[in-house]
Amino acid sequence: MSKYAARPPIYVLAIVFLLAPLVTALVSLAVGQSWSPAVFLFAGMAPPVGAFVLVWRWRMAVRALAQHVQQMITAPDLANRSVPMPWPDDVVELGVAVGQLQRVALKRQDRLAMRLESNELILDALPDPVILIATDRQVTRANHAARLLFGDRIAQRDLAATVRNPSVLEAVDSVLGGGGSRLVEFSSPVPVERVYEARIKPFVRPGGVGPDESADESAVRALLTLHDISAVKRSEQMRADFVANASHELRTPLSTLLGFIETLRGPARDDAEARDKFLSIMQDQAVRMSRLIADLLSLSRIELDENIPPTGTVDMVQNVRRSMAALELRATDRMIRLRVEAPDAVPPVLGDDDQLAQVLQNLVSNALTYSREHTDVIVRVTLADAAPVGGAISPLGGRLAPRGTSSGEMVAVSVTDRGDGIARTHLPRLTERFYRVDPARSRAAGGTGLGLAIVKHIVNRHRGRLTIESELGRGSVFTVYLPVAEGIGPAVVRAQADGAA
C-alpha cells in the first residue's frame, strides 16, 4: 500500500466540491424552500471556480514534476532524494516512480560504462593493430598498437591517408561493398621494412543504428587487423641467404683444404718443407672459414631483431674509447695512430652497447686495413640537430643514407681514414653482403665482406643514419648518426657542462 493512501485522494475532494451546489439545490427543493439569489450565484459560480482551482493545482503539480525530472536528467543524484512537497498524491507517486526509473537507468548506465571501459582496455592491450572502418572508409576507432604504428591522427580520417597500399585499400573496399573476408600481405618500408598480414572482415555493429546515422551508414563496417610477420619472413630469407652465401663463400677455402689434404696424403707425404707450408695455408683457410661463419651468424642475429628498437642508453664517448683500446695493438702493427676527438659533454644515445661497439670496431678495422702507413685514423664524436637525408652527392664524392626524413637531436660518430679512397660508382653498394671494392686485397687482409652489412643493419635497428663520403687519393669518412635518449638532448647537456665550468 502506498505511503500516501492515508490522505484523501484529491479526486474525492473534487467530486464533493463540484457536487455541493447540486446537493444544495436538491435539499432546498426537498424542503420546499425557494432559491435565493445567493443560492443561484453559488450554484452557478462554484463549479467553474472549483474546476479552475483544481485544474490550476494539477497544472502546477505537473509543471513541478516536469522540472523535477529535468533536474534529475542534469543532476542524476536528485534521483535518490525525496520528492518535493506539497504535491497531489498521484503526482507524488508518479515522481517517486520516475526517480526509481532514473536510478535503474543510472545503474544500467554505470554497468554499460564499465563494460565499455573494459572493452577499451582489452582492445588497447591487443599486441596487433586493430582498426574499425566505416562504410565510407573512414577510420572510426584504432587501438593503441595501431596508433603507435600510424600515429594518433589515424582516427576520423580516410584509411588511404594512413595505409597507402593499393592491395589493402582494394580489399577494404571489397569488404565494405558486401564481399567476404580478405587476407592481404603487404610490406611497410619505413622506418624499418616490415611485412604485415592484413585481415579484413565484415563487421556489423551491435545495437543497431545510431541517432545520427542511417541504416546504410552503420549496418556494414570492416574490421582491419594487422599481424606482423616480419620475423617469419626474415627467418625464411635468412635460411635461404645463409645457404646461398655459405655455399658461395666457403667453396673456395674448402676446395683449397681438400686439394692440400690430397697433396699431403699423396706426393708430399714425406716432404717436410711442403707439409709445413701447406699446413700453414690450410690453417689460414680454416681461420677464414671460421671468421666467415661467425660473421654470418652475427648478421643473422642482427637481422632477426632489426625491427625491435633497443631501449637502453649508451655513452658513446666511453664506447669509442673502449673500442679504440681493443684495436690499439693492431694499429701499432700497421704503424697507424688512432685519435679520438670528443667534446666534454655528450648526451647518451638510445642503443645496445655491444652492438654499437661492434659498429665502431668494424668501421675502425676497415680504416686500419685500407689506410696508408704513418697516417692517422680519427674517430670524432659530435652533436647534430639532425642527420642528413636522401642520396645527394657530397662535395667529397658521395653519400649513402636511407631515404626519408630525419629530425631531432643526434650524436654523430665519424671514422676518418687516409687511404686510397673509394670510387663514386662503388658507394651505393658498399653495404651489400660480400661486396668488395678490391676482392683480392680484402681477402688478403682477412675480410669477409660482411662488415659494412652488419653496420648497416645495426644502424637500422637503432633508427639511425649511415653516411659515406670518399674521394680517391684522399680517404674516406664513415659517419653514424644515432638519436639521443628522450629528454636528454644536446641543449640540456651543454647547459650542464656550462654550469659545471
In a domain, 212, yes or no: no
CATH number of 276's domain:
1.10.287.130
End-to-end Cα, the chain, rounded Å: 88
What integer pLDDT is reported at residue 379 of this predicted model? Answer: 92
In a domain, 162, yes or no: yes
At position 29, the amino acid (one-letter code) is L
Least confident of 70-84, 293-307, 474-488: 70-84
Res 214 pLDDT > 50: no
- Residue 252 DSSP class: H
Segment of 2-16, 181-195, 200-214, 336-350 carrying the highest mean pLDDT: 336-350
Res 177 pLDDT > 70: yes
Q: Which residues pair with 187 in a beta bridge?
A: 195
Q: Can you give the residue range of the structural domain that contains 191?
A: 126-207+218-228
CATH number of 367's domain:
3.30.565.10
* Residue 10 binned pLDDT confidence (cut-offs 50, 70, 90): low
* Residue 481 binned pLDDT confidence (cut-offs 50, 70, 90): very high
At position 152, the amino acid (one-letter code) is D
Residues 346 and 273 in one domain: no
What integer pLDDT is reported at residue 88 of this predicted model? Answer: 60
Of the residues 287, 308, 329, the one at which a domain ends = 308
Each residue's pLDDT tens digit, 123-174? 788 888 888 888 888 888 888 888 888 888 888 888 888 888 889 999 998 8
Residues 318 and 411 in one domain: yes
Whether the CA torsion 388, 389, 392, 398 is positive or negative: it is positive
Q: Which residues pair with 478 in a beta bridge?
A: 415, 468
In a domain, 5, yes or no: no
- Strands 376-384 and 337-341 turn out to be parallel
DSSP string, 122-189: HHHH-SS-EEEE-TTSBEEEE-HHHHHHH-GGGTTSBGGGT---HHHHHHHHHHHTT---EEEEEEE-
d(CA 204, CA 225): 16
Query: How is the beta sheet containing 465-471 ordered, strand by strand?
Result: 337-341, 376-384, 410-416, 475-483, 465-471
CATH number of 173's domain:
3.30.450.20
Residues 199 and 257 in one domain: no
Residues 294 and 320 in one domain: no
Residues 6 or more apart in contact with residue 352 via CB below 8 angstroms: 310, 312, 314, 458, 461, 462
d(CA 35, CA 17): 20
- Strands 410-416 and 349-350 turn out to be unpaired
d(CA 290, CA 253): 11
Residues 461 and 319 in one domain: yes
Segment of 13-17, 20-24, 150-154, 347-351 carrying the highest mean pLDDT: 347-351
In a domain, 213, yes or no: no
Which grid coordinates belong to 446? 682477412
CB-count burial class (<10 Å; 0-12, 13-18, 19+) for 371: buried
* Residue 22 binned pLDDT confidence (cut-offs 50, 70, 90): low
Of the residues 308, 329, 348, the one at which a domain ends = 308
**Whether the Cβ atoms of residue 57 and residue 83 lie closer than 8 Å to each other:** no
- The secondary structure element, H or E, covering residue 497 is helix 490-500
Strands (E), 346-486: 349-350, 376-384, 410-416, 465-471, 475-483
Burial code (b: 16+ CB inside 10 Å, e: under 16) for 339-354 equals eeebeebbbbbbbbbe
Residues 467 and 453 in one domain: yes
What integer pLDDT is reported at residue 397 of this predicted model? Answer: 36
Residue whose cell numbers read 543524484 = 77
Each residue's pLDDT tens digit, 292-336? 777 777 777 777 777 778 888 899 999 898 888 888 888 888 888
Residues 155 and 98 in one domain: no
In a domain, 134, yes or no: yes
Residues 304 and 315 in one domain: no
Candidates 289, 259, 287, 285; CA nearest to 274 is 259
Q: How many domains does the chain have?
A: 4
**Whether the Cβ atoms of residue 202 and residue 175 lie closer than 8 Å to each other:** yes
Candidates 257, 256, 240; CA nearest to 296 is 240
Of the residues 257, 279, 308, the one at which a domain ends = 308
How much is the mean pLDDT over the chain?
A: 75
Residues 154 and 288 in one domain: no
What integer pLDDT is reported at residue 25 of this predicted model? Answer: 64
**Whether the Cβ atoms of residue 469 and residue 476 lie closer than 8 Å to each other:** yes
Residues 76 and 190 in one domain: no
In a domain, 121, yes or no: no
Angle between helices 316-333 and 353-370 (to 10 degrees): 30
What integer pLDDT is reported at residue 416 of this predicted model? Answer: 92
Residues 299 and 376 in one domain: no
In a domain, 1, yes or no: no
Residues 175 and 297 in one domain: no
